[in-house]
A and B are shown apart, each in its own frame.
Chain A
Amino acid sequence: GAVVSQHPSRVICKSGTSVKIECRSLDFQATTMFWYRQFPKQSLMLMATSNEGSKATYEQGVEKDKFLINHASLTLSTLTVTSAHPEDSSFYICSSHSGEFSTDTQYFGPGTRLTVL
């Protein structure tokens, strides 16, 4: 299957700082990437859909100015959590659609665990 990487895998930061998370598709071109957030013992909640070369589409209730998404190339999408606060602590995971391997399957990265002190 397709390989998606995320960096960093774990980050701890102080309240008020910004954190950038990278999502890369390693062996295919991804025109669309998705960003999810997962709180402990809960399901994945879609935050936004990232399209290469255009603005991201955010889900209702997700602040676009707080969660900045940039999909500058076909292999890289970044999520920046700006002015992070403790309530932003969560597991952030990206996924990517690959038409090359399957017309429908989304493959996930390993996730990034963010802890805001």
Chain B
Amino acid sequence: AQKITQTQPGMFVQEKEAVTLDCTYDTSDPSYGLFWYKQPSSGEMIFLIYQGSYDQQNATEGRYSLNFQKARKSANLVISASQLGDSAMYFCAMREGPGGYQKVTFGIGTKLQVIP
């Protein structure tokens, strides 16, 4: 089974609107971490937000928030007030195990395009 599933190959959003990028995960490890990264056309991977499996509250970082639903094993990324610069590939990723030294598995990504 896929450890990270992103079912939206491409998404469009109007500038200034909010958009949700879906991510579901599969693990039997009670300790894990979930990440979202942004990859613009330049190729660099930009860390956006992190959610630990034991975190009680949903993570937020500026315009980014992570809708963490543990029972459903979903970790959707919500981008509020979309900007043209948000157009990029977005990858959901998971680390299994408690340490930051553990490897991270990536989903296939969602291409977001913000329309003026």
Q: Which residues of A contact B (CB under 8 A)?
A: 1, 31-32, 34, 42-46, 49, 91, 93, 95, 97-99, 102-111, 113
- With A1-B47, A46-B103 in contact, do A104 and B52 touch (Cβ < 8 Å)? yes
In the bound complex, what is the Cα–Cα distance between A105 and B36 (angstroms)?
10
- With A43-B91, A43-B106, A110-B42 in contact, do A105 and B37 touch (Cβ < 8 Å)? no
Rounded to whole Å, the gap between the CB of A51 and the closest CB of chain B is 8
Residues of B within 8 A of A103 (CB): 99-100
Q: Are B50 and A110 in contact (CB under 8 A)?
A: no
Given contacts A43-B107, A104-B33, 8 further A-B contacts (CB under 8 A): A44-B91, A49-B101, A99-B100, A104-B50, A104-B52, A104-B99, A105-B47, A106-B104
In the bound complex, what is the Cα–Cα distance between A22 and B95 (angstroms)?
24
Q: Are A44 and B106 in contact (CB under 8 A)?
A: yes
Q: Which residues of B contact A (CB under 8 A)?
A: 33, 35, 37, 42-47, 50, 52, 91, 95, 99-101, 103-109
Q: Are A32 and B37 in contact (CB under 8 A)?
A: no
In the bound complex, what is the Cα–Cα distance between A44 and B91 (angstroms)?
9
Residues of A within 8 A of B43 (CB): 91, 93, 110-111, 113
